[in-house]
Structure 1
Amino acid sequence: MLDEVILAGGVRRAPSLEGYRVVRAEIAADHEAYLRLRREVFVTEQGLFAGSDLDDVDEDPRRIVLLARADDGEFLGGVRLHPAQPDARDVGWWRGSRLAVKADARQLLGVGAALVRAACAAAEDAGALRFDATVQARNEGLFRRLGWVPRERIHLHDMTHVVMEWPLVRIGRLAEATKSPLGDLIGALVGRSTPGFRGDDGAPVPGSDLVAACDAILPSMVERDPEWAGWCAVLVNVNDLSAMGAEPVGLLDAIGARDASFARRIVRGLAEAAQAWGVPVLGGHTQLGVPAALSVTALGRAERPVPGGGGAPGNQLRLSADLGGGWRPGYHGRQWDSSSHRTSAELRALSGVVPALAPTAAKDVSMAGLVGTAGMLVEASGCRAIIDVAAVPAPSAASVADWFTCFPGFAMLTAEEPGRVSTPAGLPGFVSSAVCGELVPGTGVGLRWPDGTVTDAIDHTVTGLGPAT
């Protein structure tokens, strides 16, 4: 293998692949070195810009600059990544740009590829759900080899460029991890006695107006935070009933704990939540001397339960959520706590959200996240969802990626006939509600971005349970 690269301007002895590393620019000197290299490459060498290649992205404090440095400190190249709309709210659409490598470091060293890989990782860390770049056509092969997908060819600066996209799979990965085995596991069990309900948040009890729901809390969460686990066991079950349009009437619990002291902590959280929502614990079962475990069954009443699979192409998709509160300590980016600061009256009012909306279908946003839950709603409805990313109600303290994949406390996805008012009457004043998409023919969930582009977040059914019949 050649160990020297001879280029105009000098000779470089090629270091090993471990001879440099990619780091984030932190100080002014780092940024200045990167700007000088950009001028050398894009202004002097390639003539793409006259005088300067600076733009409004360079003024965006959210931008991230990555640098490749040799072990001896020599600067080899850089790239920047940033929200695609510098003057707008970050909606999870990021872009890579101004990839520049010193002339004598472009062969054998793999600096450009390393910078691109690092930018992909940094974009995901920054909360991107879409990451693209417009690259010169001669570099398309490099990006393809790195896993990027071409979207379109454009003419820019008197040269052919290719718009490339890096596939981000955070949403699909979450849906697969939490819901994809369900069809094979329980498909033969559900929906037999309740036609029209399949994979719903609760189950109508035949011959009555009762609706039953059941949820288990992750054992690791019970072990780590037993009081919060007890609180959440009530929260998620009441939410499930609310999604069905049911008023909760009682709870049953099943507790496993290593000893009475630990069980008492779980019970404390259960009792506080039951009192807050005004729902009595009717009974249950407790087992000591076993690993931590907790599940709760909730009973409610509804004259006409709302199915999760009642949507149809042409329906609007709406999110109604309590955006108050913040990330639960220890669960940043995963659990939004909208409930622990609410009064009992406010918590009880949430059961009226779905009845006030009178939707064709409803789902409580679960651990599959907002997009995964939308995928379950449209799977049961036999269609596809398109979500307008910028229209989704979201708290300012949460990135779009975190909000789309977290457990949000209280959030209801509903399908409704088109033409409904923007904020229906009868909703609690602290609930934010907006139409944020539509149901269309097809399968899965697409995300529609401010430029009109639709990217696939989920390109298949989520649970495998199929449509409700």
Structure 2
Amino acid sequence: MPPDYSDYTVKWAHLPWEQQQAFKLRQQVFCHEQQLFELTDEDAVDQTAQSIVALGDYGGWPQQVVGTVRIHQQAAGEWWGGRLAVSRDFRHQRHLGTGLIRLAVGSAHALGCQRFLATVQAGNEALFQHLHWQTLERMTLHGRDHLLMQADLNFYPPIHNPNSGFVMTLADKPTSAMTLWPGLLEVQEQVPVPGAAASVSGAEKRYV
């Protein structure tokens, strides 16, 4: 049985153990569960990316990284989200995924983001539309239908305190019954973005 945490803190990872557990969770999801990589999913983007973590708490004391995502600036004003992963034991806590997305976009917005992008599996389109994302393009990647999507920043006010983030209790569940599909954790290739900076490399990968 997974721990019954009293609440969850969603914040930027800045302590060594937070970053270490975030990488370990990514390894579990992307290497062991989905077998997309052999040993590690870490790449060059991690050198400049900011990891975000969802921490399981007991009475305000963090115990474990149960979810993670990373963000990084690809070009001036253009940010990408990726490597979104939630521990298998906590995927029923669907508010964890929405909380990670909220801090990812909101903290980038506070840093001057004018466009926040991600590629997601087609099965998650309704969820992201519910979270105020717009579909820009449809494509097939790795033999599966995917979407290039953009967050509506009007619904993601800047979050200026990402190092402390925010606390979510079990009552902080989304009003929608939709949940994070497992396919949201799968790999997606970088794709050309209409109007995006030409510096985006086709060899890079995004995970959201």
Shorter-normalised TM range = 0.5 to 0.7
The list of structure 1 runs, each at least 4 consecutive aligned residues, that deviate by more than 3 angstroms after superposition, is 10-13
Counterpart of 1:42 (choices 30, 34, 38) is 30
Partner of 1:82: 72
- Asked if residue 53 in structure 1 is aligned to residue 41 in structure 2, the reply is yes
Q: Distance in 2 between matches of 1:105 and 1:139?
A: 18
Q: Distance in 2 between matches of 1:50 and 1:160?
A: 24
Partner of 2:102: 117
What's the TM-score once normalised by structure 1's chain length?
A: 0.31
- CA deviations 1:267-298 (Å, max 9, x no partner) are xxxxxxxxxxxxxxxxxxxxxxxxxxxxxxxx
- Asked if residue 20 in structure 1 is aligned to residue 5 in structure 2, the reply is no
Question: C-alpha displacement at 1:169, in angstroms?
Answer: 4.5
Q: Distance in 2 between matches of 1:123 and 1:30?
A: 20
The 1:109–1:58 alpha-carbon spacing in structure 2 relative to 1, beyond 3 Å, is: same
Question: C-alpha displacement at 1:167, in angstroms?
Answer: 1.7
The 1:41–1:124 alpha-carbon spacing in structure 2 relative to 1, beyond 3 Å, is: same
- CA deviations 1:180-228 (Å, max 9, x no partner) are xxxxxxxxxxxxxxxxxxxxxxxxxxxxxxxxxxxxxxxxxxxxxxxxx
Partner of 1:175: none
Unaligned runs of 5+ in 2: 156-193, 200-208
Q: Distance in 2 between matches of 1:127 and 1:137?
A: 29
- Asked if residue 65 in structure 1 is aligned to residue 54 in structure 2, the reply is no
Higher Cα Rg: structure 1 or 2? 1
The 1:451–1:29 alpha-carbon spacing in structure 2 relative to 1, beyond 3 Å, is: same
Superposed, which structure 2 residues align to 1:275-424 within 5 Å?
none
- Count of aligned pairs: 158
CA RMSD, aligned part only? 2.5
Report SS of the residue matched to 1:50: coil
Report SS of the residue matched to 2:153: coil
| Matched residue type, 2:55 | R
The 1:36–1:108 alpha-carbon spacing in structure 2 relative to 1, beyond 3 Å, is: closer
- CA deviations 1:72-114 (Å, max 9, x no partner) are 3221101101012xxxxx4111000000000011113510111
| Matched residue type, 2:91 | R
Partner of 2:191: none
Q: Distance in 1 between matches of 2:116 and 2:130?
A: 16
Q: Distance in 2 between matches of 1:100 and 1:135?
A: 13
Report SS of the residue matched to 2:17: helix
Q: Distance in 1 between matches of 2:93 and 2:16?
A: 30
By relative contact order (CA 8 Å, sep 6+), the higher-ranking structure is 2
Report SS of the residue matched to 1:54: coil
Partner of 1:131: 116
Q: Distance in 1 between matches of 2:108 and 2:101?
A: 10
Q: Distance in 1 between matches of 2:92 and 2:54?
A: 14
Counterpart of 2:197 (choices 444, 447, 450) is 450
Partner of 1:160: 145
Partner of 2:175: none
The 1:157–1:120 alpha-carbon spacing in structure 2 relative to 1, beyond 3 Å, is: same
Contact 1:22 1:118 (C-alpha < 8 Å) held by counterparts: yes
Contact 1:25 1:65 (C-alpha < 8 Å) held by counterparts: yes
| Matched residue type, 1:59 | Q
Unaligned runs of 5+ in 1: 1-9, 85-89, 171-446, 453-469
- CA deviations 1:288-326 (Å, max 9, x no partner) are xxxxxxxxxxxxxxxxxxxxxxxxxxxxxxxxxxxxxxx
Question: C-alpha displacement at 1:21, in angstroms?
Answer: 1.6
Question: C-alpha displacement at 1:59, in angstroms?
Answer: 1.6
| Matched residue type, 1:148 | W
What's the TM-score once normalised by structure 2's chain length?
A: 0.67
Superposed, which structure 2 residues align to 1:425-444 within 5 Å?
none
